[in-house]
Amino acid sequence: MPKIMTLAVALALGFLAALPAQATTARIHALGGDGDLFEDAAGITRWYGSLADYPDHLVLDSGSFNIPDGYWMFASEKINGPAAGLVRHLDEAGRWGTVGLFWRDLDTDHDLFLENNRLRENLQALYGRRLGPVDATLSYGHGNWRVHDGAEVRDYSAHTFGLGARLDLSTTAYLDVAWDLRRTSRRDEGDESIHNLRGRAFVGVTERTILVPLAEWIREERVHPFSAVIDPQPADHRLTRLGVGLNFLPDTDHLLLLGLLYEDGRRHYAGYHEAWDAWLLRSGFESRISSWLTVRGGLTYTHHDVRTDLPPIQDPWQWLNQGDPILRVNLGAAVHLGPADLDMAFGERYPRRAFLGRTFEPQKHWLSASLRWLY
């Protein structure tokens, strides 16, 4: 009986890594906006150790947009843009490793840090190889951003160095860990230390059920995002995320997702302080209802408490009570066309992986589409 149970749980983990449309950012959005709690090919730009598990594919992403305003959240804030990626085994067996190359117009969906500089023209290169029991991957990313501090317009750049690994713990469990270090062209203006350390595990607990514990720690000491003249002391940002997810897979065509996450964060810059804690309750489903169609949906409920002495923001949607809990509803579908999957997602609020402090956003309906082709 123990051998039968071990085999059944191993098969469930195999199902998790082989769902028919585990494809793209649009799939993540349709399931609630957080890809940390389940397997998806789009996760390789965050969980680098999974690179070798998704070889030989091309992906094109529209990014999130809304019908009246395109990629713009506000008149002065572009929030997203198109993206493309390519992953390839260097040899048929993958012994020489796997490479990935990604381009993103804007990095909102992929930013690893609290101070989102909205990096433009992002390039990310990855190389991974099997080293004994570990799939290890190196990542390098580069992007640019522009700051208007009231006196002049300045252009800056960011270099992000990452290391990730996937380790088989047993026949029924594996572990993902990743670490990133960012260096920007503002280092000469003040002290800078920007890190992200995260880990998750997929553990089979029953024949069809996977438990996914998650932990993430972010620490940023950096020049104030607008000008070192405003505050000569470095901005200090910190975030701790802890959570657990549950994946139930009755078969390879269906997925039920549940998750509970807790955030404890703070920001300090220019003499102001902000601190928050938040609970995020997530649920999602995926069902392949025919050979060519999969449907999806997700709900995220966020209860948060923000303590801040930051000045109020003049928001045209100020009729929204920013202290109320946040409910996000997302829907999606995938059309399967032989070696290609076309994923589509719809959200009545912008899908977000985490709470990350005060949220000011209009009630716009967001759409996204992704095409993934296996070659």
pLDDT of residue 118: 83
- In angstroms, the CA 89 to CA 56 distance is 6
pLDDT of residue 67: 87
pLDDT of residue 91: 87
SS3 33: coil
Q: What tokens does 306 get?
A: 């923000």
| Distances in whole angstroms, Cα of residue 226 to Cα of each of 127, 135, 269, 361 | 34, 39, 10, 21
pLDDT of residue 61: 95
- In angstroms, the CA 332 to CA 334 distance is 7
Domain boundaries, the chain: 2-374
pLDDT of residue 352: 86
Closest of 83, 23, 18 to residue 333, by C-alpha: 23
The answer to whether 264 touches 239, Cβ cutoff 8 Å, is yes
Please, what are the averages of pLDDT over each run of 10 residues along the chain (375 residues)? 43 46 81 92 94 94 92 83 95 87 90 84 96 95 82 85 96 96 81 92 95 96 62 80 96 94 89 90 96 96 87 53 81 94 93 80 87 92
Q: What is 2-374's CATH number?
A: 2.40.160.40
330, β-bridge pairs: 298, 347
- In angstroms, the CA 191 to CA 51 distance is 33
Closest of 175, 78, 71, 65 to residue 118, by C-alpha: 78
